[in-house]
Amino acid sequence: MLEDLRRDFQRSWPQILAIAIGCLGTLNTGFQYAWTSPYIIQITKDKIDYHISEDEAAYFAIIPPLAMMLTCPASSYLTKIIGPKKGFLLTTIPNLLNWILIATAEQAYVFYIARFFVGVSDGIMFTSFPAYIGEISTPKVRGTFGNGPTLAIYLGEFLINLLGMYLDAKQSSYVCSTVPVLFGILFPLMPESPYYLLTKGREEDARKSLKWFRRKQDIEEPFQQLKADVERQMSEKGTWKELLLVRSNRKALIGGLFLRLSQQFSGLQVFAVYTLYIFEKAGTNLNPRMSTIVFVAIVLILNSISCCTSEYLGRKRAYIISLAVCTLFLWIIGIYFCIDQFQPQIDLSFFQWLPLAGLICYTIFASFGISIIPSLMLGELFSASIKSKGLSVLVVALGAGTTTMYYLFYFFNSTYGMYFPFIFFAVCSTISTALSNWLVPETKGMTLEQIQQSLSKKKSETTS
């Protein structure tokens, strides 16, 4: 068995290395996602270096997904033209601009510009890196290491919360800016996707790329199979009309949209952005900053050890189980905040640990499902001819969903109280759980071509 594992690693380490280096880019995404958690409170309380109110700072979380949604069609088209590798590499520029602006910002509008660049970077990253992973890796590597970008995001969220305990916004921006620089130096050393090279007719370059990623000289058989798959997929016109009219494209689009929107409407990303804020508003006797560090650390650990769970259970079953149990804990936390607000005569001092414990339990079951599967499947669902259009729609949906959730969380909390957003997320997740069995496709252990063939089958053919 150990010998088999050694041989597998020898054949697949170039794919793993490319994913790992690419994860430097999503590590920076994690910094940017969770940057608001420690620094919104720090900046609004600092009346010497900044004069920014809570209402002005609330837009720090809303601007990136809005910018991602607005710029995604252009970034998707650009990635289609220059390739997923070069497209992803372009994120170095807006990422560096973001940290430079934060290091020099004193007024709210400078932070707004910085956060706009975050959205631009996210729009490029979500349309390029998932496609790159899907196209360079075998099904086994993709199933085991395809959630690496998500783990890197969680690591970034943990580190930025940790930095927030010791460094101010300016100091942390200097530290964080080293990551996109390192990414910009190392990622150009990786080959371009052989899929993309074949779509451009660059067969010799595609052969070299495939040899490097498969770690073998005799790649004629997999190369010819890959070439046939790409030719079949590229024979489709790949128009916006076909995105809706071709069965496989339509099912991929519906499944991808459902995964992204159900993930956002479960509150997953809101908890990452407003973690410290939630614990401060909970009024517990636990230190809010330490609670945040513990929570994000547990998120990172659980997502790391659950990397093989979705491969064992299958994408669909893992997502349904994850979403169903997370829904239960959302109801529990929402009811706690509801009792705390409307029944002050009830002594909840013994249960002040419940918001932290509830979010940790939520994280345990989110770690193998709703946290990782939407991103993991992003590069799997669409054929080569329609991938750029399909991914652009999903990224726009991600931006719209995230923007809506950030705004609704802030609005519901400020208008009705902390209980309301949790009850809202619980209701949405209950509905999503009921729909998951029909809308989530299964892609476990399949090549990209096999996924397309599976999506093109009618339900009667699939079940027979």
By the 8 A CB rule, do 116 and 65 touch?
A: no
| Tokens standing for residue 341 | 């607000």
Which of 277, 406, 294, 284 shows the shortest CA–CA distance to 336? 284
Structure tokens at 79: 């990635």
CA atoms of 153 and 304, how far apart (whole Å): 11
> How many residues are there in the chain?
464
User: Does residue 401 or residue 8 have the better pLDDT?
Assistant: 401
Please state, in angstroms and rounded to a whole number, the distance separating the CA atoms of residues 200 and 81: 9
The token duo for 290 is: 């330490």
378 in any annotated domain: yes
Is 18 in a helix, a strand, or coil? helix
* Average pLDDT estimate for 270-289: 65
- Find out whether 382 and 336 touch, Cβ atoms under 8 Å: no
How confident is the model at residue 272, as a pLDDT? 65
284: left (phi over 0), alpha (psi -120 to 50) or beta: beta
At residue 298, φ and ψ (nearest 5 deg) are -65, -40
Query: Among residues of the chain, what percentage have pLDDT more than 90?
Result: 34
* Higher-scoring residue by pLDDT: 83, 8: 83
Residue 238 has pLDDT above 80, yes or no: no
Which pLDDT band, with edges at 50, 70 and 90, does 203 fall under?
very high
Task: Quote the tokens at residue 399.
Answer: 């931006």
**pLDDT tens-digit map of 305-342:** 665 566 677 788 889 999 999 999 999 999 988 988 88
Query: CA–CA separation, 183 vs 435, rounded Å?
Result: 39
Asked whether residue 356 carries a pLDDT value surpassing 80, the answer given is no
Is there a domain that residue 155 lies in?
yes
pLDDT score at 311: 62
Q: What residue numbers bound the domain in which 338 lies?
A: 17-188+238-463
User: What is the reported pLDDT for 196?
Assistant: 92
Kindly state the average pLDDT of the residues 148-171: 87
Instruction: Please tell me the predicted confidence (pLDDT) of residue 463.
Output: 44
Element (DSSP H or E) covering residue 313: helix 309-313
- Determine contact, residues 10/215, Cβ cutoff 8 Å: yes
How many structural domains is the chain composed of? 1
**Inside any domain, residue 10:** no
Contact 114, 67 (CB under 8 A): no
- What whole-number distance in Å separates Cα of residue 171 and Cα of residue 159? 14
Per-chain mean pLDDT for the chain: 84
Query: ∠189-25-140 over CA atoms, to 5°?
Result: 75
The H or E element spanning position 262 is: helix 247-264
- Give the DSSP letter string of 41-82: HHHHH-TTT----HHHHTHHHHHHHHHHHHHHHHHHHHHHHH
> Looking at 101-110, 211-220, 309-318, which range is the least confident one?
309-318
Task: Give residue 384's pLDDT.
Answer: 72
**pLDDT score for 303:** 66
Does the pLDDT of residue 372 top 90, yes or no?
Answer: no
Higher pLDDT, 174 or 55: 174
The answer to whether position 212 is within a domain reads no
Instruction: Return the percentage of the chain with pLDDT > 70, whole number.
Output: 89
Q: pTM for the full model?
A: 0.79
- pLDDT above 80 for 351: no
In this predicted structure, the answer to whether residue 373 has a pLDDT above a threshold of 80 is yes
pLDDT at 382: 84
Whether residue 258 contacts residue 370, with contact meaning beta carbons closer than 8 Å, is answered with: no
Minimal CA–CA distance to 363: which of 443, 438, 300?
300
User: What is the rounded CA–CA span in Å between residue 399 and residue 341?
Assistant: 32
Q: How many helices (H) and strands (E) does the chain have?
A: 27, 0
3-state secondary structure of 441: coil
Structure tokens at 52: 């920014």
452 within domain boundaries: yes
> Does residue 157 surpass a pLDDT of 80?
yes
Q: What pLDDT is stored for residue 45 in this prediction?
A: 87
How far is CA 109 from each of CA 31, 41, 138, 145, 332, rounded to the nearest angstrom?
20, 17, 45, 39, 39
**Burial track 103-134 (b if 16+ CB lie within 10 A, e otherwise):** bebeebeebbebbbbbbbbbbbbbbbbbbbbb
Q: Is the pLDDT of residue 91 over 60?
A: yes
CATH number, domain of 426, equals 1.20.1250.20
Radius of gyration of the CA atoms of the chain, in A: 22
The answer as to whether 62 is a domain residue is: yes
Q: Are residues 438 and 335 in contact, defined by beta-carbon separation less than 8 angstroms? A: no
- Max avg pLDDT among 65-74, 180-189, 208-217, 263-272: 180-189
| Angle ∠(318,420,415) on CA atoms, nearest 5 | 145
Distance of CA 111 to the CA centre of its chain: 23
Residue 460 is predicted with a pLDDT of 47
User: What's the pLDDT at 214?
Assistant: 87
Above 60 in pLDDT, residue 151?
yes
Average pLDDT on 185-212 reads 93
Please report whether residue 287 resides in a domain. yes
Count CA atoms within 13 Å of residue 212 on its CB side: 16
Whether the predicted pLDDT of 428 surpasses 80 = yes
Q: Diameter of the chain by CA atoms?
A: 75
What one-letter code names the amino acid at 292?
Answer: T
Q: What was the pLDDT predicted at 87?
A: 93
Q: Which pLDDT value is given to residue 310? A: 60
For 34, counting Cβ atoms within 10 Å of its Cβ (0-12 exposed, 13-18 middle, 19+ buried), the class is buried
Is position 208 within any domain?
no
pLDDT score of 279 more than 70: no
pLDDT, residue 464, reads: 42
